Amino acid sequence: MGHEAPIVKLLGLEFNLSNILMILVSSAIVFIIAVLSTRSLAMKPTGMQNFLEWVMDFVKNIINSTMDWQTGGRFLTLGMTLIMYIFVSNMLGLPFAIVVDHKLWWKSPTADPTITLTLAILVVGLSHYYGIKLKGFSAYGSDFFKPLPFLFPLKIIEEFANTLTLGLRLYGNIYAGEILLGLLVSLATSGAFGFIGAIIPMMAWQAFSIFVGAIQAFIFTMLTMVYMAHKVSHDH
Amino acid sequence: MLTVEFALGAGGFAAGDMLVQLVVFLILLALLKKYAFGPLMGIMKQREEFIANEINAAEEKHAEAKKLAEEQRELLKQARIEAQELVENAKKLGEQQKEDIIQAARAEAERLKEAAKKEIEHEKEQAVAELRNQVASLSVLIASKVIEKELNEAEQEKLINDYIKEVGEQL
């Protein structure tokens, strides 16, 4: 790849403008899809409402498979936003990439570890917040010493490991997909022979990337609910 | 630093992005909750309640229909029994009436027969009484005639016979 990122410095913080652009684009697409789907709600669902209800049932099933609905119901909105946002983000980088002045502007926002780790930290942070909120601080704290007290350091490491793996798994899958797509593109543009040679693997890889993108969105949401359940449920 | 660059990819690590991602995601979450998922959940819940109500109503109606059918059956059964009773009663009544009418007719006939008999008896007695009267008067007449006419025995016999014949004819 070897493209640079359009970075600006503001108030001592570095901002990657391409990331910010893609975050906004993804969010806007998700919001537009959701609002269009729910513009004309009816008891008898039609068209887009059916689709969004299907998504909602899907997320409901994910939550129900990890915890009871009494505690899990409050995470429905979070789960739906996560799965839609990550899926849309994963898809954005597939059809094309835009490079201006050797700077990569259009890509999947989830192909950047900063983004995925932010989401992971948000999820793990929320799991701790709800753990304290729903179980009380003492029950939440004592969970770190179960089942055996000397496992406490491992429990602490587990939290960081969870965060890292949650974020980097998503990033790795999407970034790898985009790198291979980029390589195939450079092969296709190298000449007529390269174009013919690249067209079949290109299609295959894009199809596979769609599959991976959907799977990764599902996995991220699933793991979110698993971590939540781990923190908020009383029985282990 | 090189490894970090490698691990984190071409974009590098921009702390500002984290902030932006966090804020934008939370805003997206709030907006979606307000404008999309909230209403959607509302309508789904509403539908759930609607369906539950419909099922309840259907169950109630079913039970009611069952009860009504049972009632109808009971009524039908009762009506049938009543009708049978009515027919039975009517039959009995008819029998009774027939018996009565026959009885009355028989009594009337008996009475008429008795009356006719009495009448005949009466008539007969009257006739006998009259005859007796006439015989008495005839006897007197005959006696007076006998006394009037001094007749011989043969003539007397003839005369008596004539008178008796006369009486016989008169009777």
Q: Cβ contacts of residue B125 below 8 Å, gap of 6+?
A: none
If you average pLDDT over residues A215-233, what whole number do you get?
89
Is the pLDDT reported for residue B70 higher than 90? yes
Among the partner-chain residues A31, A53, A117, the one whose CB lies closest to the CB of B31 is A31
Highest mean pLDDT, choosing among A171-180, B13-22, B49-58: B49-58
If you average pLDDT over residues B102-115, what whole number do you get?
94
Q: Write down the pLDDT at residue A108.
A: 83
Residue A63 exposed, middle or buried by CB count within 10 Å (0-12, 13-18, 19+):
buried
Task: Give A171's contacts in chain B (Cβ within 8 Å).
Answer: 9
Is the pLDDT reported for residue B72 higher than 90? yes
Is the pLDDT reported for residue A235 higher than 80? no
Is the pLDDT reported for residue A192 higher than 90? no
User: Terminal CA-to-CA distance of chain A, rounded, Å?
Assistant: 46
Cβ atoms of A174 and A220 within 8 Å: the answer is no
Is the pLDDT reported for residue B8 higher than 50? no
Q: How many helices (H) and strands (E) does chain A have?
A: 8, 4
Is the pLDDT reported for residue A154 higher than 50? yes
Burial code (b: 16+ CB inside 10 Å, e: under 16) for A101-121 equals: eeebbbbbbbbbbbbbbbbbb
Residue B151 pLDDT grade (very low, low, confident, very high; cuts 50, 70, 90): low
Dist. CA B33–CA B15, nearest whole Å: 27
Indicate the average pLDDT of chain A. Answer: 84
Q: Write down the pLDDT at residue A12.
A: 67
- The Cβ-side half-sphere exposure at A50, using a 13 Å CA radius, reads 4
Question: Within chain A, what is the greatest distance between any pair of CA atoms?
Answer: 68
Among the partner-chain residues A14, A27, A122, the one whose CB lies closest to the CB of B16 is A14
If you average pLDDT over residues A147-163, what whole number do you get?
86
Highest mean pLDDT, choosing among A46-55, B106-115, B160-169: B106-115
Q: Write down the pLDDT at residue B97.
A: 95
Q: How many contacts does A have with B, using Cβ atoms within 8 A? A: 135
Higher pLDDT, residue B73 or A142: B73
Which tens digits make up the pLDDT trace of A49-103? 888 888 888 998 988 888 888 887 888 888 888 899 999 988 888 777 677 666 7
**CA distances for B61 relative to A201, B48, B51, B53, B154, angstroms:** 63, 20, 15, 12, 127
Chain mean position to CA A153: 28
Q: Where are the domains of chain B?
A: 2-170
CB contact under 8 A, B21 and A19: yes
Q: Write down the pLDDT at residue B7.
A: 43
If you average pLDDT over residues A18-25, what whole number do you get?
85
Dist. CA A191–CA A77, nearest whole Å: 49
Is the pLDDT reported for residue A209 higher than 80? yes
Residue A42 pLDDT grade (very low, low, confident, very high; cuts 50, 70, 90): confident
ipTM of this complex prediction, to 2 decimal places: 0.81
Residue A1 pLDDT grade (very low, low, confident, very high; cuts 50, 70, 90): very low
CB contact under 8 A, B17 and A4: no
Task: Give A42's contacts in chain B (Cβ within 8 Å).
Answer: 43
Dist. CA A234–CA A71, nearest whole Å: 11
Please tell me which residue of chain A has the smallest CA distance to B17.
A15
Q: Write down the pLDDT at residue B5.
A: 41
Q: What is the signed CA dihedral for B125, B126, B132, B134, rounded to 10 degrees?
A: -160
Q: Tell me which of A38, A108, A164, A168 to substitute to probe the interface with B (most B C-beta atoms closer than 10 Å).
A: A38
Indicate the average pLDDT of chain B. Answer: 85
Residue B4 pLDDT grade (very low, low, confident, very high; cuts 50, 70, 90): very low
Q: Tell me which of A10, A35, A40, A41 to substitute to probe the interface with B (most B C-beta atoms closer than 10 Å).
A: A41
Higher pLDDT, residue A48 or B89: B89
CB contact under 8 A, A13 and B14: yes
Task: Give B47's contacts in chain A (Cβ within 8 Å).
Answer: 43
Is the pLDDT reported for residue B2 higher than 60? no
CB contact under 8 A, A171 and B9: yes
Q: Write down the pLDDT at residue B149.
A: 67
Binding-site residues on chain B for chain A (CB distance < 8 A): 7-22, 24-25, 27-29, 31-33, 35-37, 39-44, 46-47, 50
- Range scoring the smallest mean pLDDT among A98-112, A149-163, A216-230, B77-91: A98-112
